[in-house]
Amino acid sequence: MTFEQLGYFLALAEERSFVRAARRCGISQPSLTNAVKSLEAALGAPLFERTVKGSKLTAFGQQMHRHLAQLHHDKRQVLELAHTFSCASNPITRVHPRNNFRQNGRRKQFASGGIARPGSHSTSYAVAAATERPSMRGLRPEHVGE
């Protein structure tokens, strides 16, 4: 059982349609079907009753829904807590979003010297420490380590 499968299960339970749930999750309908079948196999019983009009939770699916929804919710809280803790307690792991877009028809150049490449994602992340570290250029060997 994976957290991805839990998300697919919850989307399907809410949408009651494999096509709509797959669209909502950003995957193909056969991929959603396979993930749900894998989850059902892992749990040992069918979660959904498939009909021509869509799908509905079985009695087992209804019982599992509240537990799987709680598990999914707890996972999100743990990830948020971990992210908050790592950002607040360790400035080296702090990340900053950077927009990769063109300004005045030219690729945007960042302080770190990187250039946004065409086709890259609209937002990328860079370790803050990499750009906040003072430059070592121009220092003579006797000044290094001060």
Q: Is the pLDDT of residue 130 over 80?
A: no
Give dist(CA 111, CA 131) in Å, integer. 7
Which has the closest alpha carbon to 6: 51, 28, 38, 29? 38
Per-residue pLDDT, averaged over 12-31, amounts to: 95
116 exposed, middle or buried (CB, 10 Å; 0-12, 13-18, 19+)?
buried
Residue 104 has pLDDT above 50, yes or no: no
Domains recognised in the chain with CATH numbers: 3-89 (1.10.10.10), 95-132 (no CATH)
First-to-last C-alpha distance (Å) of the chain: 53
CB 43 within 8 A of CB 9: no
* pTM exceeds 0.85 for this model: no
What local confidence, expressed as pLDDT, does residue 28 receive? 95
Q: List CB contacts of 3: < 8 A, sequence separation 6 or more.
A: 72, 75
- Asked if 108 contacts 99 with a C-beta cutoff of 8 angstroms, the reply is yes
What's the sign of the alpha-carbon dihedral 138, 139, 140, 141?
negative
Per-residue pLDDT, 90: 62
